[in-house]
Amino acid sequence: MRLLVSVRSAAEARAAVTGGADIVDAKEPARGSLGPVEPAVLRAILEALPSGTPLSIALGDLQHPAAVANTLARLDRVKAGSADRAAELYVKVGLAGIRDAALARAVLGAVVEAARLGPVRPAVVAVAYADHERAGALPRDVVAGLAADAGAAGVLLDTWGKDGRDLFAWASPADLQRWLDATRRRGLLTALAGSLSAAGVRAAAGLEPHVVGVRGAACDGGRCGLVSEARVRELAAEITRSHPAEATA
């Protein structure tokens, strides 16, 4: 199991890595749950990472296949002009505002195809929302099925609204466990996030997703504050305490 920490600057990326984050995620929290950072910021984050650090990049919520090409092209230009430091590269794509499964399938298929044909070739992670009704999105089970059909690498279950309610306000541990088991059976990487506190990280880790993601719990001052090395270290310790065998393997 790995800890993902979302960062909005090169300084935060360094703090996350030093604190023990397994995956650094480039995201601008002021722009919502999947807010993309500016190209210059993404370039700075890439250049701040030690060689081999896995990187995830939030691309936002895409609502039409026509938006895919321009989004991925911007990513290709940034990556091509910076040091090739990320051993693993993921892009996260949400589907807020899409209630039609055929349109969602078309968007995900376009992202996977563009990623496959481009020079960067990131792995695609579809984002489902536990609070899908207020996101105007499809339920998490449907998104997982569409992601598998489209050839995506994985699914992240997050919260669209950032109002203090965490993932467990929208889904019980038993419901989350069923979703994780079903998503893994589809051959997909699984990730849980959504305003998780340190206690929430502990609870999420107990469900054994492949990845647990955080932003606010890693920051001094909440999700729009600054990532703290000390906070990341404590969250990494929560993961280790949940799975001590992995730490000694």
Catalytic option among 8, 79, 92, 140: 92
> Any catalytic annotation for residue 162?
no
Whether residue 84 contacts residue 45, with contact meaning beta carbons closer than 8 Å, is answered with no
Whether residue 3 contacts residue 12, with contact meaning beta carbons closer than 8 Å, is answered with no
Catalytic option among 15, 19, 21, 27: 27
What CA–CA distance (Å, rounded) separates 237 from 234? 5
Whether residue 105 contacts residue 97, with contact meaning beta carbons closer than 8 Å, is answered with no
Q: Taking each helix axis from N to C terminus, what angle separates 39-48 and 10-19, rounded to the nearest 10 degrees? A: 30
Strands (E), the chain: 2-7, 23-26, 55-61, 89-94, 123-129, 154-158, 189-192, 211-214, 219-220, 226-227
What CA–CA distance (Å, rounded) separates 40 from 38? 6
What CA–CA distance (Å, rounded) separates 224 from 19? 19
What letter would DSSP give residue 60?
E
Q: Tell me the catalytic residues.
A: 27, 92
